[in-house]
């Protein structure tokens, strides 16, 4: 006690801060960082979960480099990212921009947009899966058929399947992004718009010169957040293609699904760990690149 | 010819009328200050002139055009906002140039105009900076600059000094006044600070509850207030009001003291006898008004304000700065009858 009372105020604050931080730090260390570190080690080993771990150096990475499925999955993952992120950004901005101007039923509409975000991804994936079925079951094909358009193979086509799986993922995240955008829009002082009105500039100039530049921090947040989401896409894909996860012909398989497959169906832990390390590097590089591109000057 | 006219201007939000028929003519080049407590309708009036609020009824005339249905940009006005509304992501130069964005001037002319304005406001060296790198006063100048580049018929200022600290406010007050003398455009300035109104205005418009109380030069509103509200709102500290009754010979105060006033017209009327703290002194050359005990002293240097508890309530008087009476002292306060104001006790109107 004597020791404690001799500390300066600053030191006492640090002692208390560490007292409260100790548990979460311990938790993160054991539950998060230790396995992460282990994953790096395992990526250089061969291990079937039960047997001995044998050191094989870079073999897993070489195998990955020469694996055509990995490259297909790699391209798929980036397709999810490069279509999903801009699409959801533009859609959520347009919705938020207009919803912000609306008074009538504002709260109700906002709730409708936010609802999918709260819904279980599994339940949602199965509902969309039903939407996509052939006539006479699927909603979309029934609608198309009723206006005389031939039915589309949504989930059974190698070209249509990826966008078809992506659509509910975009839709699910939209509500959250709309809320964030609305908060960003509300934070812009009204007098900026009034000043622009007096200066007589058009809505396009207001949008591109005032609104969007002032939303930069919001946009950075949403881009980084949704990019990470799309790079880690799994549950929508897994649940919409359960009979043949990632199919048809790996056309919808993202990296996380490949890791799952390798680890828990193939029990090839070393190879799965190497894929995890690659995913980690992709996430890291993409996030850093976005932060750098969208940095404020 | 009036440069700006408001004719029977009203404003209502749903069923609630907040402005009840404002009439005002502003001469070309005049510096008009709207002053009043918050919620009096001064900002609403300004925003209606700017075109940011719809006119419910009546007319806003700028130049010789009724501008009720014109967009703000078509009204030949510019406005400076309380929070300046300068864009944080643009340089000072781009901010000022924003005022010219919709103008049809050539690029060269715009550049010249921006340089000219920057010169007048003494901020040529700041043009490449971002607002975050500027002090409060400099940001204020950028906002004025953006309004100035457009060379509008009327400048509108919406409480532009209230975000500044006291010292800077005094300085900017002076700068805006000098600027007005130099460029000569009509200025409508809204403030809740009567000192700003008194120091800057050619004419002051005092408002309360959506009505104009009085329009006049600073001297007129100070020396001949139209009613008790104006009398108490203008001048600091506020005018003392002593209840009394006209009785033919003058005013009989509640304390029983008979006061002879210069204007005795009616009898048997309840009145408020107003006297400014500046005019209420310990000096016995005037006419004795009240007696009481000193409760608080506020030394201001050259003079000391004394708060005196009297039978008619607390009054404020001015005493010498060097030898003010001590707290607890019994004092007799008097004033020159010429400096005493009389107001109707019911409606507050000044009695001539």
pLDDT at B16 over 80: yes
Write out the residues of chain A at the interface with chain B, using a CB-CB cutoff of 8 A: 189, 191-192, 194-202, 205, 209-210, 213-214, 216
Average pLDDT over residues A100-111: 87
On whether both A209 and A98 belong to a single domain, the answer is: yes
User: Model confidence over A13-46: pLDDT tens digits?
Assistant: 999 999 999 999 999 999 999 999 999 999 999 8
What does the pLDDT look like over A274-285, one tens digit per residue? 999 999 999 999
Shortest distance between the Cα of B38 and any Cα of chain A, in A, equals 19
Residues A34 and A177 in one domain: no
| Residue of B77, B82, B89 lying closest to A214 (CB–CB) | B89
Task: Give me the residues paired with residue B216 across strands.
Answer: B204
Q: Give the pLDDT of residue B1.
A: 41
Q: What percent of chain B has pLDDT over 70?
A: 98
Say whether both A15 and A98 belong to one domain: no
Check whether residue A94 and residue A190 sit in a common domain. yes
Mean pLDDT of chain A: 90
Percentage helix, strand, coil, to 5, in chain A? 75, 0, 25
Distance CA A224, CA A282 (A): 13
The Cα A238–Cα A154 span in angstroms is 16
ipTM of the complex: 0.82
Which numeric CATH code is attached to B237-344? Answer: 2.40.50.140
**Residues A167 and A23 grouped into a single domain:** no
Asked whether the beta carbons of residue B82 and residue A191 sit closer than 8 angstroms, the reply is: yes
CA B86/CA B160 separation, integer angstroms: 12
Question: Chain A within 8 Å of B175 (Cβ-Cβ)?
Answer: no
Q: Flag whether A59 is in a domain.
A: no
Task: Name, in order, each residue with C-beta under 8 angstroms of A62's C-beta and a sequence gap of 6 or more.
Answer: none
Domain membership of residue A38 as a residue range: 2-42
pLDDT digits (tens, 9 = 90+) for B313-346: 899 999 988 888 899 999 988 888 888 898 998 8
Residue A214 to residue B88, Cβ atoms within 8 A: yes
Whether the pLDDT of residue A152 is over 90: the answer is: no
Q: Give B31-78 pLDDT, tens digit per residue.
A: 999 999 998 999 999 999 999 999 999 999 998 899 999 999 888 899
Among residues B105, B194, B187, which one has the least CA distance to residue B150? B105
| C-alpha span between B234 and A292 (Å, rounded) | 57
A61 within domain boundaries? no
CA atoms within 13 A on the CB side of A156: 7
Per-residue pLDDT, B238:
92
Closest residue to A200, CB basis, from B50, B73, B89 = B73
Classify residue A50: in a domain, yes or no.
no
- Do residues A91 and A174 make contact, with C-beta atoms less than 8 angstroms apart? yes
**Is residue A197 in some structural domain?**
yes
Is A197 within 8 Å of B72 when comparing Cβ atoms?
Answer: yes
Residues A125 and A160 in one domain: yes
Quick one: pLDDT band at residue A297, thresholds 50, 70, 90? low
Predicted pLDDT at B120: 86
Q: Do A200 and B72 touch (CB under 8 A)?
A: yes
Give me the percent of chain A exceeding a pLDDT of 90.
60
Exposed / middle / buried, residue A50 (Cβ in 10 Å: 0-12, 13-18, 19+): exposed
Q: Is the confidence at residue B298, as pLDDT, over 60?
A: yes
How far is CA A246 from each of CA A158, A208, A240, A271, B239, rounded to the nearest angstrom? 10, 40, 9, 18, 84
Give the 3-state secondary structure of residue B33: strand
- Cα-to-chain-centroid distance, residue B54: 24
Q: What pTM was estimated for this model as a whole?
A: 0.81
For residues A38 and A72, state if they share a domain. no
Residue A135's domain is classified under what CATH number? 1.10.3720.10
DSSP A91: H
Which residues of chain B make contact with A190, given a CB cutoff of 8 A? none
Residue B2 predicted with pLDDT over 60 = no
Are A165 and A202 in the same domain? yes
How far apart (Å, rounded) are the C-alpha atoms in residues B201 and B31?
A: 5
Q: Is A194 helix (H, G, I), strand (E, B) or coil?
A: helix
Angle value at C-alpha A188, between A187 and A191, nearest 5 degrees:
130
Among the partner residues B71, B85, B98, nearest to A194 by beta-carbon distance: B85
For the packed helices A216-231 and A68-101, what is the interaxial angle rounded to 10 degrees? Answer: 140
> Do residue A160 and residue A208 come from a single domain?
yes
Do A28 and A111 fall within a single domain? Answer: no
Please name the member of B89, B90, B99 whose beta carbon is closest to the beta carbon of A199: B99
Q: Which CATH number fits the domain B2-232, given the four candidates 3.20.20.140, 3.40.50.300, 1.10.10.60, 3.20.20.70?
A: 3.40.50.300
Q: H/E element holding A113?
A: helix A106-118
Report, as an integer, the average pLDDT of B176-193.
91
Query: Could you tell me if A33 and A132 lie in one domain?
Result: no
- B140-159: per-residue pLDDT in tens? 889 989 988 888 889 999 99
DSSP string, A158-177: TTTHHHHHHHHHHHHHHHHH
Residue A263 resides in a domain = yes
Q: State mean pLDDT over B240-259.
A: 83
Structural domains of chain A, count: 2
Kindly give the residue spans of alpha helices, DSSP state H, lying in B40-193.
Answer: 42-50, 92-98, 107-120, 136-148, 166-183
In chain A, residues with a C-beta closer than 8 Å to the C-beta of B88 are: 214
Residues 6+ apart with CB under 8 A from A201: A209, B98, B101, B102
Q: What is the pLDDT of residues A212-236, one digit of tens each?
A: 999 998 999 999 999 999 999 999 9
> What CA–CA distances, in Å, run from A41 to A241, A255, A282?
32, 20, 18
Q: pLDDT at residue B263 above 70?
A: no
User: What is residue A202's predicted lDDT score, i.e. its pLDDT?
Assistant: 86
Q: What mean pLDDT is predicted for residues B284-291? A: 79
Which residues, including other chains, have CB under 8 Å from residue B317's CB and lie 6 or more apart? B240, B277, B280, B281, B282, B305, B306, B308, B331, B333
What is the residue-averaged pLDDT of chain B? 89
Selected residues 97-126 of chain B with any CB under 8 Å from a CB in chain A: 98-99, 101-102
Residue range(s) in chain B whose domain bears CATH number 2.40.50.140: 237-344
């Amino acid at each position: 006690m004597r020791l404690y009372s001799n500390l300066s105020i600053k030191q006492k604050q640090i002692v208390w801060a560490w007292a409260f931080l100790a548990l979460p730090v311990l938790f993160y260390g054991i539950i998060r960082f230790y396995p992460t570190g282990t994953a790096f080690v395992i990526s250089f080993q061969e291990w079937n979960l039960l047997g001995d771990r044998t050191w094989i150096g870079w073999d897993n990475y070489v195998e990955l480099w020469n694996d055509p499925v990995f490259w297909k999955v790699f391209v798929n993952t980036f397709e999810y990212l490069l279509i999903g992120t801009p699409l959801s950004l533009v859609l959520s901005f347009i919705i938020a921009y207009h919803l912000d101007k609306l008074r009538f039923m504002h709260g109700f509409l906002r709730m409708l947009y936010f609802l999918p975000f709260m819904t279980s991804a599994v339940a949602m994936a199965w509902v969309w899966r039903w939407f996509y079925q052939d006539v006479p079951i699927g909603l979309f094909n029934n609608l198309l058929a009723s206006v005389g358009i031939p039915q589309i193979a949504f989930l059974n086509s190698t070209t249509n399947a990826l966008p078809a799986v992506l659509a509910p993922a975009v839709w699910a995240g939209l509500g959250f992004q709309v809320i964030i955008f609305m908060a960003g829009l509300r934070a812009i002082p009204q007098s900026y718009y009034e000043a622009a009105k007096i200066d007589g500039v058009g809505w396009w100039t207001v949008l591109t010169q005032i609104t969007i530049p002032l939303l930069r921090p919001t946009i950075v947040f949403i881009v980084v957040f949704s990019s990470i989401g799309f790079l880690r896409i799994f549950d929508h894909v897994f649940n919409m293609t359960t009979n043949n996860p990632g199919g048809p012909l790996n056309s919808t398989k993202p990296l996380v699904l490949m890791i799952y497959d390798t680890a828990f169906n193939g029990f090839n832990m070393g190879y799965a760990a190497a894929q995890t390390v690659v995913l980690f590097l992709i996430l890291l590089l993409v996030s850093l690149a976005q932060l750098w591109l969208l940095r404020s000057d | 010819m009036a440069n700006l006219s408001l004719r029977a201007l009203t404003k209502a939000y749903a069923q609630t009328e907040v402005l009840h028929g404002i009439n005002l003519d502003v001469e070309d080049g005049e510096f008009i200050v709207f002053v009043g407590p918050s919620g009096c309708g001064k900002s609403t009036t300004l925003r209606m002139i700017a075109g940011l609020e719809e006119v419910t009824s009546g007319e806003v005339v700028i130049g010789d055009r009724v501008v009720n249905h014109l967009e703000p940009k078509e009204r030949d006005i510019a406005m400076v906002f309380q929070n300046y509304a300068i864009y944080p992501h643009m340089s000072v130069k781009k901010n000022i140039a924003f005022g010219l964005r919709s103008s049809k001037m050539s690029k060269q002319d715009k550049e010249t105009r921006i340089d000219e304005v920057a010169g007048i406001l003494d901020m040529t060296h700041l043009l490449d900076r971002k607002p975050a790198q500027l002090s409060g006063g400099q940001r204020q100048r950028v906002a004025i600059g953006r309004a100035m580049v457009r060379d509008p018929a009327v400048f509108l200022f919406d409480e532009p000094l209230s975000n500044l600290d006291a010292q800077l406010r005094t300085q900017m007050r002076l700068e805006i006044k000098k600027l007005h003398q130099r460029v000569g455009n009509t200025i409508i300035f809204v403030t809740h600070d009567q000192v700003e109104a008194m120091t800057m205005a050619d004419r002051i418009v005092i408002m309360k509850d959506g009505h104009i109380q009085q329009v006049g030069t600073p001297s007129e509103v100070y020396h001949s207030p139209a009613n008790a509200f104006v009398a108490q709102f203008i001048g600091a500290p506020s005018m003392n009001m002593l209840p009394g009754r006209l009785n033919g010979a003058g005013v009989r105060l509640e304390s029983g003291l008979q006061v002879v006033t210069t204007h005795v017209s009616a009898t048997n009327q309840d009145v408020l006898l107003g006297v400014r703290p500046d005019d209420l002194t310990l000096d016995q050359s005037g006419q004795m008004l009240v007696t009481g005990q000193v409760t608080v002293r506020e030394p201001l240097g050259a003079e000391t304000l004394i708060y005196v508890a009297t039978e008619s309530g607390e009054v404020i008087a001015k005493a010498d700065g060097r030898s003010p009476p001590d707290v607890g002292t019994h004092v007799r306060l008097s004033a020159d009858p010429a400096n005493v104001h009389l107001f109707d006790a019911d409606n507050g109107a000044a009695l001539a």
